A and B are shown apart, each in its own frame.
Chain A
Amino acid sequence: MAEQAGRIPEGVDTGRPSAARLYDYLLGGGHNFAADRALAERFLRAQPNARTIARLNRAFLRRAVLFMVDNGIRQFLDLGSGIPTVGNVHEIARRADPRARVVYVDFEEVAVAHSRLILEDDPQAEIVQEDMTRPEEVLAATRETGLLDFSEPVGVLAVGVFHFVPPEADPRAVVAAYRDAVPGGSHLAFSQFTGDLQPAEMAGIVEVMKKSQNPMFPRTRAEIEGLFAGFDLVEPGVVPLPLWRPEGQNTDDPDRAGIYAAVGRKI
């Protein structure tokens, strides 16, 4: 207990860039610091299409949430939710049904602080600060919010986050733990970077992020499909971002989209 009393508040280290703030910057947000922007510039050198990829990823998140709403989902668990830039899950879902409830999960200080601020007066959405690779803790904290009913289908979102999950964290077991915690009919929306599309650029990104707080681990299509054990992948399966149920005619080049997206339905 002496140790606990001795622990000082960690504060936010604005000198260390984070993936959450990097993503915010790529999306044109202002919730970032000089170090994040410097990292973003290097990221952009490795993958010049990064801004578009960020935009496509966020757009996929929106389509996936609306798809789930269409399939009767009214409650969401958003893993690695990031800095609430624009088009947050609760906003998207509530445009369709005002009763939608959301628990956000992130482990990054600024993302959490900022989400807390935005959700302060919102009784139907909350953020918990947890490491999403530790499902038991995430689920316990989620239950504590009392917002989600685990006897009803849940929309689990793991969008733009699994490329931060190292193989040692056993991604399959992580997904399986969330799958097992929700009832049949629940959905999983998933997106993550892959080397399948642009291997050289991907390698560049990995290199840029290697020494950061959030090193990255691209996965192949087969690996991603493997994560969906116990789910039925809904059409069109695991595809580059813009090809996942595009709204109207798609004008973005899927070969330069960097990220695979997919949605599955728990069997």
Chain B
Amino acid sequence: MTPPELATRWMHALTSTAYIPLSHAEIQQELRDALAQLPSSPESVANRLVSLHATGPDSLRVTIEVLAPTFELPILARLSSAYAHAMRLDAFDQQEQIKVAIVRAKQRVERTLKVSQARFREVFDSAALGIVITDLSGRCVEANDALARIVGLSRGADLHDRDLRELYHPDDSERLDAAYRRVGAGLVNGFRDQRKLVRADGEPVWVHLVVSVLRDADGEPAHHVTMVEDMSELHLLQRSLDHQLLHDSLTGLSNRQHFVTQVERRLDGTPITLYHLGLDAFSVVNNGLGHDTGDKLLKIVANRLGELAERKRAVLARIGGDEFALMTTSDTVTSTVEEIQQALGEATFVDDHGIALSASIGVVDRPPSFATAAELMRCANTALRQAKARGKRQWALHDPHDDARRRGRYALAASMPGAWEHGELKIVYAPIHLLETREVLGAVARLHWDDLSHNDTMALADSTGLSLPIGRWLLREACAQAARWVEEFGAKAPSLHIALGALQSRDEDLVADVKRALDESGLPPERLRIALDVSSVLAGDDNAVVLHDNGIVTALDGFRGGHDELAVLAEVPVRTVITRAPAPGRETPLHQAMRGLITTVHGFGVRFAADEVHTCAEADDWHAAGADGVIGLLPALTAAEVTELLATAASPPPAAS
């Protein structure tokens, strides 16, 4: 081989092992020079290769391969060892360089820190806010003049070395001390508070404090910085504003907003009871005797209820024109209701009119702690309406079982963890039918608990935080079952479809979970379809994409046909969308609309399926609208029942009759 040929071959070999930032012609020239040099000085050739950056893991090997037929072994041996040496030096150089770079970077940071310290100094001295830096024991390291003025001293230096705690008002010192300690221990980054300090003349002064921590170079808390704003006048104003915001001006009681926040505070497991009172026939008083009389009456009612609330250590509020609310703890409902009626029933003389009042009362007793205050207010209101519907002086207890949604959340949510532990949750398999041929396409694995549907069970699990463990279990179990079917029945085994809840659809470990379920069960990936909750995809989650990239076919469940959802179809590789919309009866406008939607979906190359289709007539409607598949035409079966069916039938289960 001629030297130029050899150089060309060497170049091709080298450039596939390392990135050499030169044109081919340039590299070739370099290598031709190297070839000329090689017999006399393999060491310089080695250096040359390294400085060209022909330093890939395979660069030396291919070099030897290309050169071996032409050059003697001892030369190549020298080349190799010199190359290794040069590589080592090069690596050292680079590591050295990186160290220098990092040291410089640190120096830069320190320089900017100095500048920022200078800026801090400037702010410190000229601020209108009081600023004090204390060590963790509370000793003042530095304070500015502004702070000195707030506490009635003349110069910041007067505070030097004093204990900041001496400035706290005794009422506050314990709480403040604790708050500072939490910051000092690094538990929180800082706090804000409104507190009193004591001036040099003994007068209290209201201040707004903002406390943060200064850390040392190791990131450990070293000092506190406290900024202090004098609020004495502001404070008074604020207090009256707050009061107005939170109280009813007629009766002086808390208003609804204030009441709700107080309820919120007790939603920590405290056994509370809410009473929502509506005065019976108050509008009769108001309209018949005039608003003034009405107002006076309301004040009297407020007083009487106020006494009762005090006795019971209850929270009382006026939450509407003639409506009051009471929150008690550890209470007996019947006796409180009686006491309320007694307090109101006592005849009242207003402007010479003797009036006896009564109230209708809605009661919410010991709600579960995960209910929100707003929900409880709504429940109490519902109960009040029920009581009113029964006549005057009635009361009604909010019955969580009245309301299906709340039943789901309150009662079932509470028992779900137990049911799950005791194995009461079951997996059943619902057939998916292809509408064109009425063949069974596969089986959807679903949760079954009590008489709840899969989706309700999932939604419930989502609200209790159980949906991830339950969803993983469903994934594993169903894959294992499907794998057994494949093993036993081969091609006749149904493909497995799993619909995930909203949380699991978005779970960042989902892909890993799916892969694990497949690995452990041995189920071939192409026999699995994962239906993700459409909300996850709308939220921009990429599980659908990643699953697809892993060769797993996905569907979107809960599809409603919104523009946002259609837009997603253009981007996310899904095979099918599944809707739970009602069947579009033929010759209805819905039918037309659904047809249009399905055509659009098909336009994206996506198939359309409907869930919860229970009759052949509905299936026909869907078919006419262009849908591809339906779920629910046959009742869901347990795994054992499916196995039996597969075993007895020569073919998959027939379509519904």
A contact residues vs B (CB 8 Å cutoff): 1-6, 8-12, 27-31, 51-52, 54-55, 58-59, 62, 86-87, 91-92, 109-110, 112-114, 116-117, 167-168, 195, 199-200, 202-203, 206-207, 210, 217-218, 223, 247-248, 251-252
Distance of B573 from chain A, by nearest CB (Å)? 9
Contact between B57 and A51, CB atoms less than 8 A apart? yes
For residue B283, CB closer than 8 A to chain A, the reply is: no
Residues of A within 8 A of B102 (CB): 12, 109-110, 113
Residues of B within 8 A of A27 (CB): 19
Bound state CA distance, A2 and B546, in angstroms? Answer: 44
Q: Which of B98, B109, B225 has the most CB of A within 10 A?
A: B98
Contact between B227 and A2, CB atoms less than 8 A apart? yes
Look across to chain A and name the residue whose beta carbon is closest to the beta carbon of B23. A247
Interface residues of chain B: helix, strand, loop or mixed (majority): helix
Contact between B113 and A30, CB atoms less than 8 A apart? no
B contact residues vs A (CB 8 Å cutoff): 12, 16, 18-21, 23-24, 53, 55-57, 90-95, 97-98, 100-102, 104-106, 109-110, 113, 116-117, 119-120, 123, 131, 212-217, 219, 225, 227, 508, 511-512, 540, 542, 545-546, 548-551, 571
Contact between A30 and B214, CB atoms less than 8 A apart? no
Look across to chain A and name the residue whose beta carbon is closest to the beta carbon of B121. A5
Bound state CA distance, A87 and B310, in angstroms? Answer: 82
Contact between B105 and A203, CB atoms less than 8 A apart? no
Residues of B within 8 A of A30 (CB): 90-95, 98
With A12-B102, A86-B53, A206-B546 known as contacts, the answer to whether A2 contacts B212 (CB < 8 A) is yes
Contact between B12 and A51, CB atoms less than 8 A apart? no
Look across to chain A and name the residue whose beta carbon is closest to the beta carbon of B210. A2
Known: A4-B120, A6-B212, A10-B109. 14 other contacts (CB 8 A): A5-B120, A27-B19, A30-B95, A31-B95, A110-B98, A113-B102, A113-B105, A117-B97, A199-B548, A206-B546, A207-B511, A207-B512, A247-B24, A251-B12
Contact between B56 and A51, CB atoms less than 8 A apart? yes
Contact between A202 and B214, CB atoms less than 8 A apart? no
Bound state CA distance, A204 and B551, in angstroms? Answer: 12
With A2-B212, A12-B102, A247-B23 known as contacts, the answer to whether A203 contacts B227 (CB < 8 A) is no
Residues of A within 8 A of B542 (CB): 167, 217
Bound state CA distance, A6 and B222, in angstroms? Answer: 10
With A29-B94, A31-B94 known as contacts, the answer to whether A9 contacts B109 (CB < 8 A) is yes
Contact between A6 and B215, CB atoms less than 8 A apart? yes
Contact between B550 and A203, CB atoms less than 8 A apart? yes
Residues of B within 8 A of A117 (CB): 97, 100-101, 104
Distance of A209 from chain B, by nearest CB (Å)? 12
A54, A167, A223, A252: the one within 8 Å of B16 (CB)? A252
Residues of B within 8 A of A195 (CB): 545, 549
Residues of A within 8 A of B16 (CB): 52, 251-252
Residues of A within 8 A of B225 (CB): 2, 5-6
Bound state CA distance, A5 and B219, in angstroms? Answer: 13
Interface residues of chain A: helix, strand, loop or mixed (majority): helix
Residues of B within 8 A of A113 (CB): 98, 101-102, 104-105
Look across to chain A and name the residue whose beta carbon is closest to the beta carbon of B131. A2
Bound state CA distance, A209 and B189, in angstroms? Answer: 31
Contact between A5 and B101, CB atoms less than 8 A apart? no
Bound state CA distance, A199 and B20, in angstroms? Answer: 29
Bound state CA distance, A113 and B90, in angstroms? Answer: 19
Residues of A within 8 A of B110 (CB): 9
Distance of B565 from chain A, by nearest CB (Å)? 16
Distance of A7 from chain B, by nearest CB (Å)? 8
Contact between A28 and B18, CB atoms less than 8 A apart? yes
Look across to chain B and name the residue whose beta carbon is closest to the beta carbon of A249. B12
Bound state CA distance, A39 and B23, in angstroms? Answer: 32
Distance of B440 from chain A, by nearest CB (Å)? 30
Contact between B56 and A203, CB atoms less than 8 A apart? no
Residues of B within 8 A of A55 (CB): 18-19, 56
A-B contact pairs, 7 of them (CB 8 A): A11-B109, A30-B91, A58-B21, A92-B21, A110-B102, A113-B98, A200-B549
Residues of B within 8 A of A6 (CB): 212-215, 225
Bound state CA distance, A1 and B122, in angstroms? Answer: 11
Look across to chain B and name the residue whose beta carbon is closest to the beta carbon of A226. B571
Look across to chain B and name the residue whose beta carbon is closest to the beta carbon of A168. B540
Contact between B55 and A28, CB atoms less than 8 A apart? yes
Look across to chain B and name the residue whose beta carbon is closest to the beta carbon of A21. B98
Bound state CA distance, A31 and B131, in angstroms? Answer: 45
Residues of B within 8 A of A91 (CB): 21
Contact between B19 and A12, CB atoms less than 8 A apart? no
Contact between B549 and A199, CB atoms less than 8 A apart? yes
Look across to chain B and name the residue whose beta carbon is closest to the beta carbon of A4. B116
Residues of B within 8 A of A62 (CB): 21
Distance of B478 from chain A, by nearest CB (Å)? 22
Contact between A86 and B21, CB atoms less than 8 A apart? yes
Residues of A within 8 A of B213 (CB): 6
Distance of A88 from chain B, by nearest CB (Å)? 8
Look across to chain A and name the residue whose beta carbon is closest to the beta carbon of B217. A8
